[in-house]
Amino acid sequence: MNKKLITLFCIFSIFFIIPYVCAESVRSKANKAIAAYKGKKYQKALSGFIDAQIEAPQQAQLGYNLGNTYYRLGQYDKAAQSFLNSVTLAEDNIKLK
């Protein structure tokens, strides 16, 4: 009985708890980066958006925010690339729905 409960808990954790914790981590990083961006601390915002995007590369909004941050830092080529990646991800997400 105990082995079944442990197995069930492990399966539950893999499918429900771990994704929620990871999503919360991305959301938290993105929120901190947004606050830094609003405070005109663009280098700190850049670091936060990059960290969040590493964990959730499929989120188009992070790419868009990253593009805005690169733009504010005067890194126009990287901004353009981030915007293009964001559009591509958004289009892919629409096709999947």
Quick check: is 1 in a domain?
A: no
Distance, CA of 67 to CA of 15 (rounded, Å): 32
Q: Taking residues 21-50, what's their average pLDDT? A: 89
User: Do the beta carbons of residue 52 and residue 41 sit within 8 Å?
Assistant: no
Q: Is residue 40 part of a domain?
A: yes
pLDDT averaged over the chain? 82
% pLDDT > 90, the chain: 54
> Which CATH number fits the domain that encloses residue 84?
1.25.40.10
Element (H, E) at 37: helix 18-38
Domain that holds residue 74: 29-96
Q: Which of 61, 53, 65 has the alpha carbon at shortest distance from 89?
A: 61
66 within a domain of the structure (yes/no): yes
* pLDDT tens digits, 50-85: 999 999 988 889 999 999 999 999 999 999 999 999
Number of domains in the chain: 1
In a domain, 8, yes or no: no
The 10 Å Cβ neighbour count of residue 12 is 11
Measured CA distances, 36 to 46, 69, 85, 95 (Å): 9, 10, 22, 33
